[in-house]
Amino acid sequence: MRAFLKQHRAVHIWAVLVAALFGLYAWGISSRGAANAVSAVTQRLKDGYARLWYRLPFSVVEWFYVAFILAVILWIVILAVRAAKGPDRGRRLYGGLLGLACFCLTAWGLYCVLWGVNYYADGFQEMSGIYAQPVEVEELERVTQYFAERLGDLADEIPRDENGVFAVSRDEIFAESTSIYDNISREFPFLAREDRVPKKMFFSRLFSAMNFTGFYSPYTGESSLNVDSPACLLPANITHELAHQRGIASEQECNFLAIAASTASDSATYQYSGYLMGYIHLGNALYRADREKWEAVYATLPETVLADLRYHSAYWAQFDSPVATVSEKIYDTTLKTYGQEDGIQSYGTVVDLLVAYY
C-alpha cells in the first residue's frame, strides 16, 4: 500500500486540491454573505488577469477550449496505449484515469468558484432596489408601445443596405462599446468601471449553430462576441456581456442591463439596438398575453424596423437543428445547477424588470 501511495502521490495531492476547490465553492454558496465575499475576491482576480489577455487581439479563451478538448483526447489515447502494453497495467490505468478526472474537475471547479458563486451573490436587483414585479397587460402594452415609438424615432438615423437592413459596421460598433455604461453608471454607481473593447469570436458561425451570441469567460476575464449573427443586435449583445464583466451572473438581469444601458447611452446605434432587443422581449410577452394588443403595436412599426426583425428571424431559423436543441438543453441545465430554477425561461423575467423600470 505504501508503494502504491508513493507511486501515485502527485495525483493524490491533486485530488485533495480539487476537493478543496469544491469545498470553497460549497462554502461560497452557503450564504449570501459568503457568496458576496468570494465573488468580491474573484472579481478583482479576474480583472487582474484580464488586463493580460486583453493585450492580445483575439479571443484567447476560444483557443483555451480547443486546447482543453485536444488535451483530453490525447490523454485518453496515451492512457489506452499504456494500459494495453507492458506490466503493471492496473496501476497505470488507475493513475491515468484519476489524473484525467482531476484535470476535468479542476476546470469545472475553477468555473464554479470564479463564476458559479456569483449566481448566489447580490445581483442588480439587490444592489439597485429595482425588482421584477407581476405585470398587468395594460402596463405591458404601454411599455411595448413606448419601445415601438422609440424604434420609429431612431430607425432613420441608422445606416442601411440596399435591402433596408441595419448596416452599421461591426468595427464601429465595437469601437463605441467602452463608453456605453457611462450614462447609466451615474444612476447606478456600482456599474461604473473601465471597459475594454470585447473580442470577436473566431468560431462565430459555430456558436450561432449552438444559439450563442456571445459569452463571458471567468477563465480569462474576456467578453467574446459572435460577429456572424445579425449586426442589429450586436450592440445590445455587447452591452449584455459587459454586464457580466461587472460580476452580474443572472442572464435576465444582464439582458435588462443590455437594454437599459444601451438606450441610456449617447450612441444612436446602441440606443436603436437596445430598443430593438427590448421590443423583441416585450412584444413576445404581449403576443402571448393579448394578441390583439400586440397586433395594434406591431402595426405602428416602420418598414425599416420590420426589415431588421425579419432578417433577425430568418438568420436564426437556419440554425433550428438538433445541435441547437442540445446546446440549449445543456445551458438550461447549467443555469439550473447554479440556482437559476427557471433555466432559460428565466430570460422572461427581463420583461418584468423592463416594465418596472420604464
Mean pLDDT, range 331-343, rounded to an integer: 52
Residue with cell 485518453: 76
- Angle, alpha carbons 280-284-287 (nearest 5°): 135
Q: Side-chain half-sphere of 160: how many Cα atoms within 13 Å? A: 17
The residue with greater pLDDT, 341 or 99, is: 99
Mean pLDDT, range 256-261, rounded to an integer: 98
Provide the pLDDT for residue 326: 47
Judged by average pLDDT, the poorest of 38-52, 263-277, 342-356 is 342-356
DSSP 301: S
| Burial of 157 (C-beta count, 10 Å sphere; 0-12/13-18/19+) | exposed
Provide the pLDDT for residue 339: 55
- Do the beta carbons of residue 218 and residue 249 sit within 8 Å? no
Which of 94, 120, 146 terminates a domain? The answer is: 120
The pLDDT of residue 348 is above 80: no
Distance in angstroms (rounded) separating the CA atoms of residues 149 and 265: 17
Helix axes 268-289, 234-245, angle to 10 degrees: 90
Tell me how far the alpha carbon of residue 230 is from its chain's centroid: 17
Helix axes 32-53, 89-114, angle to 10 degrees: 100
Distance in angstroms (rounded) separating the CA atoms of residues 36 and 224: 25
| Percent of the chain residues topping a pLDDT of 90 | 81
- Do the beta carbons of residue 257 and residue 124 sit within 8 Å? yes
Structural domain boundaries, residue 106: 2-120
- Per-residue burial over 85-114, b if 16 or more Cβ lie within 10 Å, else e, is eeeeeeebeebbeebbebbebeeebbbbbb
CA dihedral 148, 151, 155, 159 (to 10 degrees): -130
The pLDDT of residue 332 is above 70: no
Residues 91 and 140 in one domain: no
What residues contact residue 164 under an 8 Å CB cut-off, 6+ apart? 303, 304, 307
Residues 169 and 309 in one domain: yes
Residues 32 and 151 in one domain: no
Tens-digit pLDDT profile for residues 4-55: 566 678 889 999 999 999 999 999 999 999 999 999 999 999 999 999 999 9
Residues 115 and 194 in one domain: no
What residues contact residue 248 under an 8 Å CB cut-off, 6+ apart? 118, 123, 124, 254, 257
The pLDDT of residue 271 is above 70: yes
* Predicted structure pTM score: 0.90
Residues 114 and 158 in one domain: no
Residues 191 and 284 in one domain: yes
Residues 178 and 272 in one domain: yes
- Do the beta carbons of residue 25 and residue 113 sit within 8 Å? yes
**Of 155, 173, 180, 168, nearest to 266 (Cα)?**
180
Which of 74, 103, 120 terminates a domain? The answer is: 120
The residue with greater pLDDT, 49 or 334, is: 49
Helix axes 349-357, 251-264, angle to 10 degrees: 40
Mean pLDDT, range 278-299, rounded to an integer: 95
The pLDDT of residue 345 is above 50: no
**Mean confidence (pLDDT) of the chain:** 90
Distance in angstroms (rounded) separating the CA atoms of residues 27 and 46: 20
Residues 157 and 41 in one domain: no
Q: Total structural domains in the chain? A: 2
Which of 72, 99, 120 terminates a domain? The answer is: 120
Residue with cell 433596408: 164
Residues 116 and 132 in one domain: no
- What's the grid cell of residue 112? 464554479
| Burial of 336 (C-beta count, 10 Å sphere; 0-12/13-18/19+) | middle
Mean pLDDT, range 214-228, rounded to an integer: 96
Gap between the terminal Cα atoms of the chain: 68
pLDDT confidence bin for 329, thresholds 50/70/90 = low
What is the edge-to-edge ordering of all strands in the sheet holding 222-225? Answer: 199-200, 222-225, 214-217
Residues 50 and 193 in one domain: no
Distance in angstroms (rounded) separating the CA atoms of residues 243 and 240: 5
Residues 49 and 183 in one domain: no
Residues 86 and 192 in one domain: no
**Highest-confidence range of 76-85, 278-287, 312-321, by mean pLDDT?**
278-287
Tens-digit pLDDT profile for residues 146-203: 999 999 999 999 999 999 999 999 999 999 999 999 999 999 999 999 999 999 999 9
The residue with greater pLDDT, 260 or 324, is: 260
| Percent of the chain residues topping a pLDDT of 70 | 89
Provide the pLDDT for residue 346: 33
Provide the pLDDT for residue 7: 66
Tell me how far the alpha carbon of residue 350 is from its chain's centroid: 14
Provide the pLDDT for residue 9: 85
The pLDDT of residue 121 is above 60: yes
User: Where would I find the beta strands (DSSP E) of the chain?
Assistant: 199-200, 214-217, 222-225
